[in-house]
Amino acid sequence: MKKIYLVIFLTLTSSLSMPAATFQEAAEAYKNQNYTEAATIYEAIIKKDGISSEIYYNLGNAYYKSKQYPKAILNYERGLLLSPGDEDIRVNLDMARTKITDKIDTMERSFISIWIESLRNIFSSDVWSVIGIATFLLFLVGIYLYFFTKNLWVKKLGFFGGVILLLISVISNRFAYQQKEKIITRNEAIIMTPSITVKSSPAESGTDIFILHEGAKIKVTDKVGEWSEISIEDGNSGWIPTSKMEVI
């Protein structure tokens, strides 16, 4: 709800280039509990004016309120792609996931990998890029201080500070690349049909392996014709018709 009011405020101050009336109509429809109408307006905004994490958040809220949980999950996930550190989106996504059938266990991961992922998700790729460039420029300042000053304390500061700044720059650029790669690759999707039987091969004649229900998150690993090979977080994999899912 917090961002609904934020959108109204931004609209009134004309800080966005999108049509104010359209935002007002969507917010008003949401306020009046016309959630399906609000979702339709937000979808129209995306088609006409492009995407943003705020629009995906509000669209996800509208679908959640109208009990269209798979679409809510899809749009919350899309919002997180653009703004991975947005806690509001993440909380609402977790709430939406409690409304679907499949509760998929994740494969055991090390504390380090979880911590690194959490750190990477604090900022978007653009923010990490800015941090990477800024710290690299400061690293060059540190190198200058080390080689071109005579004060021993300043030399030490330039050397050790430069090393730390270079490390931060490398990590930041790595995180920026990984975040951007997720946006470009788009190899994750949400099941959009009430239930689907995952097959052992890309054909209806394939052996049934397991069943997924709407709202389940999958990773697409390959495509053959109208079929997609998918995997889920517990390590199971198989084939489903591409038409039964929607890419995040």
**At 206, which amino acid appears?**
G
- pTM, two decimal places: 0.84
CA 150/CA 161 separation, integer angstroms: 17
Find out whether 53 and 83 touch, Cβ atoms under 8 Å: yes
First to last CA, the chain: 23
Structure tokens at 129: 């890029």
CA 7/CA 152 separation, integer angstroms: 54
pLDDT tens for each residue of 111-167 = 898 899 999 999 999 999 999 999 999 999 999 999 999 899 999 999 999 999 999
Find out whether 199 and 207 touch, Cβ atoms under 8 Å: yes
Q: Strands 227-231 and 217-224, how do they pair?
A: antiparallel
Q: What is the mean pLDDT of residues 161-182?
A: 96
pLDDT tens for each residue of 3-12 = 544 444 444 4
Task: Output the DSSP codes for 192-233.
Answer: -SSEEEEESSSSTTSPEEEEEETT-EEEEEEEETTEEEEE-T
